[in-house]
Amino acid sequence: MRPVGSKYFLEEPLGRGATGTVWRARQREAAGAEAAVQGQPGETVAIKVLKEELASDPDIVMRFLRERSVLLRLTHPNIVRVRDLVVEGDLLALVMDLVDGPDLHRYLRENGPFSPVGAALLTAQIADALAASHADGVVHRDLKPANVLLRQYGDQMHPLLTDFGIARLADSPGLTRTHEFVGTPAYVAPESAEGRPQTSAVDIYGAGILLYELVTGRPPFSGGSALEVLHQHLSAEPRRPSTIPDPLWTVIERCLRKNPDERPSAENLARGLRTVAEGIGVHANSAQIAAAEGVGALLAPDPAPAAVPGAPGDADPTQVLPHGAGAYDPNAATSVMPHTGHPVGAADPTAVLPNRGAADPTAVMPPVPPGQPGQQPGQQGATGGPGGPEDPHPWQNQLRAARDRNEQTQVQYLDPNEDPLRRRPQRQVARPQQQPPQQPRQQRPQQAGYGQPQQGGGYGQPQQYAPPQQQPRQQPRPQRHAPPPPERQEPRRAPREPRQRSANPMKIPGLGCLKGCLFTIIILFVASWLIWELSPLQDWIGTGRGYWQELSHWYHQVTGFIGDLGGGSSSSGQ
């Protein structure tokens, strides 16, 4: 077991994402007062060890420390609690509650889509989490099924949103330097794709995509390449599958509006989804059905959406953009990203670019702010002049810049060589078996808590759904932690250069650096033999001997000469 800080031991890797590796870990002793949860010795926790590239970037370390209070104060029944942050040497880690259950992406893959009622109720709880974080000025920016963990209580499941703040941490010039990540194309809001100002409405767009995926099993926009998917976010309307009831489609369609100002607030989204779930469930009465059909009236937008830090004109992470800031102009030409110092990318961290041309909608797009590698000369952004219609679309630059990456979020055995701690895991990932043997969807116990399956069409039929208690909005807690000590903010050493491999293709195992000498000797030997045998050198010298005879003759001459020298010197000494 490897210690992390003085308080935790890493036990086994649970999975790896684009920003780091998550480990099952154990508390050695209670954490200090700066932790949100001090915990008890022996308690099991999850620890996300951020990638070395992040941990060795001074910008990110600073951001990590600055964001400490934001991350630690985000508490909500549908948010995975961050208990502590560890900064130790080159290691940055978030200590979280351990969630015993699969993530929603894996669950969907293994079990297929949810019923409309189940999907609505699950998304309503995610919207609750978003409402609480948006009220606190925190935008998730990477909402997708892989970031929703499902805690299981018997046959019930409780969704918990995770990776809050990771997008904020990763939104650093350091990351763009490494062309790492910045979003998952399948879930990227149009304004993020175009580098326009982002607000909490990007999370609502992500929630709409997630909801669509829950009921259909796939996100609404797909294509042969990430670029194609992104173009669809910008210009295509989502296609409505016939299995989605009208009221649920109303909610999805509103969340997926291209104009962020037309999307509902998270709070209204949660309310609307619960109204829809009641109205389309099998136990719905006529009033509930009517309420669901009128759900559009409940989906009012947020008059003061939380701004994403780093958006143009936004220096304060908790600043609230005035309503209408970054308003969407459907007739505007595709603009070059108006980035200021900060890279404003798609829904930041997560996935990574697929293989060239691979149809992976979860691939990650790196932001390429002006002046970064991969950007076309002369491209200066919407406010910067050039950037005419002949310039490549910003996504094309980003795609180009990220082509050398092909790393996917995965839950699998962790290669020890890629472990950020350079440690051999003690055993392979052995996630507990959460799924009972697969059953037909209609009888899945996991979804029973989200309403009964739709039988015989099911829409509007009576149901056994009991809506969960709405969680009271969390008031921002007073900041519990003093700002980080100044010594922590000292400039850290520059990130290490990646190790260069030798360009010499010749490899003679075991010879190490001798191989060059050996190779040179052989070459000289063969060359001299060829010259001796094939050139008129023999005739010029007039010996008529073959190469080997001449060599041994020279050898005898040299040894004789050396012998004479030895003899001469010894006789002169006598």
Ligand X SMILES: Nc1ncnc2c1ncn2[C@@H]1O[C@H](COP(=O)(O)OP(=O)(O)OP(=O)(O)O)[C@@H](O)[C@H]1O
Q: Which phi and psi (to 5°) does residue 143 adopt? A: -75, 125
* Distance from chain centroid for Cα 433: 25
The one-character DSSP state at 2 is: E
Q: Which phi and psi (to 5°) does residue 83 adopt? A: -90, -35
Q: How far is the CB of 226 from ligand X (least distance, A)?
A: 15
In the window 34-53, what residues touch ligand X (CB under 6 A)? 46
Q: 17 or 387: whose CB is closer to ligand X?
A: 17
Residue 121, CB-side half-sphere exposure with 13 Å CA sphere: 24
Q: How far is the CB of 403 from ligand X (least distance, A)?
A: 19
Q: 151 or 473: whose CB is closer to ligand X?
A: 151
Q: How many residues bind ligand X (CB under 6 A)?
A: 26
**Beta strand 2-4 with 8-16: parallel, antiparallel or unpaired?**
antiparallel
Between CA 134 and CA 137 the distance in angstroms is 5
Q: 406 or 538: whose CB is closer to ligand X?
A: 406
| Site mask for ligand X (CB under 6 A), range 166-205, x = bound | ----------------------------------------
Q: Looking at 16-24, 130-138, 232-240, 525-533, which segment touches ligand X (CB under 6 A)?
A: 16-24
CB 272 within 8 A of CB 453: no
In the set 67, 84, 136, 163, which binds ligand X (CB under 6 A)?
163
Q: Looking at 35-43, 146-154, 286-294, 396-404, which segment touches ligand X (CB under 6 A)?
A: 146-154
Q: 17 or 453: whose CB is closer to ligand X?
A: 17
Q: 259 or 434: whose CB is closer to ligand X?
A: 434
Q: Which position's Cβ is nearest ligand X?
A: 17
Q: How far is the CB of 358 from ligand X (least distance, A)?
A: 17
| Site mask for ligand X (CB under 6 A), range 343-372, x = bound | ------xxx---------------------
Q: 159 or 460: whose CB is closer to ligand X?
A: 159
Q: How far is the CB of 407 from ligand X (least distance, A)?
A: 10
* Distance from chain centroid for Cα 400: 18
Q: 17 or 281: whose CB is closer to ligand X?
A: 17
Is 78 a residue that touches ligand X (CB under 6 A)?
A: no
Q: Which residues contact 83 (CB under 8 A, 6 or more apart)?
A: 31, 35, 36, 37, 39, 45, 72, 95, 96, 97
CB 543 within 8 A of CB 550: yes
Q: How far is the CB of 163 from ligand X (least distance, A)?
A: 5
Residues comprising the chain, all counted = 574
Q: How far is the CB of 421 from ligand X (least distance, A)?
A: 15
Q: 46 or 126: whose CB is closer to ligand X?
A: 46
Is 15 a residue that touches ligand X (CB under 6 A)?
A: yes
In the window 305-324, what residues touch ligand X (CB under 6 A)? none
CB 260 within 8 A of CB 328: yes
Calculate the alpha carbon distances from 48 to 43, 138, 196, 328, 343 in Å: 16, 20, 30, 36, 24
As annotated, the active-site residues are 142
Is 149 a residue that touches ligand X (CB under 6 A)?
A: yes
Tokens, residue 253: 């369609």
Residue among 18, 25, 2, 13 at smallest CA distance from 53: 18
In the window 391-430, what residues touch ligand X (CB under 6 A)? 409, 411
CB 61 within 8 A of CB 55: yes
In the window 126-145, what residues touch ligand X (CB under 6 A)? 142
Calculate the alpha carbon distances from 333 to 193, 198, 385, 457 in Å: 13, 18, 14, 44
Tokens, residue 286: 């006529």
CB 387 within 8 A of CB 335: yes
Calculate the alpha carbon distances from 277 to 128, 296, 465, 485, 494 in Å: 15, 14, 8, 49, 53
In the set 162, 250, 288, 474, which binds ligand X (CB under 6 A)?
162
Q: Which helix (H) or strand (E) holds 53?
A: helix 52-55
Q: Which SS3 state, helix, strand or coil, does residue 230 take?
A: helix
| Site mask for ligand X (CB under 6 A), range 448-487, x = bound | ----------------------------------------
**Beta strand 44-50 with 20-27: parallel, antiparallel or unpaired?**
antiparallel
Q: How far is the CB of 382 from ligand X (least distance, A)?
A: 29
Is 337 a residue that touches ligand X (CB under 6 A)?
A: no
Between CA 177 and CA 112 the distance in angstroms is 39
Q: 114 or 164: whose CB is closer to ligand X?
A: 164
Is 19 a residue that touches ligand X (CB under 6 A)?
A: yes
In the set 4, 10, 14, 157, which binds ligand X (CB under 6 A)?
14
Q: Which SS3 state, helix, strand or coil, does residue 20 take?
A: strand
Q: Looking at 90-98, 376-384, 389-397, 421-429, which segment touches ligand X (CB under 6 A)?
A: 90-98
Q: How far is the CB of 408 from ligand X (least distance, A)?
A: 9
In the window 94-123, what residues touch ligand X (CB under 6 A)? 96-99, 103
In the set 36, 124, 132, 146, which binds ligand X (CB under 6 A)?
146
Q: 49 or 248: whose CB is closer to ligand X?
A: 49
Is 84 a residue that touches ligand X (CB under 6 A)?
A: no
CB 401 within 8 A of CB 178: no
Q: Which SS3 state, helix, strand or coil, does residue 46 take?
A: strand
Is 147 a residue that touches ligand X (CB under 6 A)?
A: yes
Q: How far is the CB of 396 from ligand X (least distance, A)?
A: 23
Q: How far apart are the first and last CA of the chain?
A: 74
Q: 50 or 117: whose CB is closer to ligand X?
A: 50
Tokens, residue 404: 């050398």
Q: Residues in the site for ligand X, rule: CB under 6 A?
A: 14-20, 22, 46, 80, 96-99, 103, 142, 146-147, 149, 162-163, 349-351, 409, 411
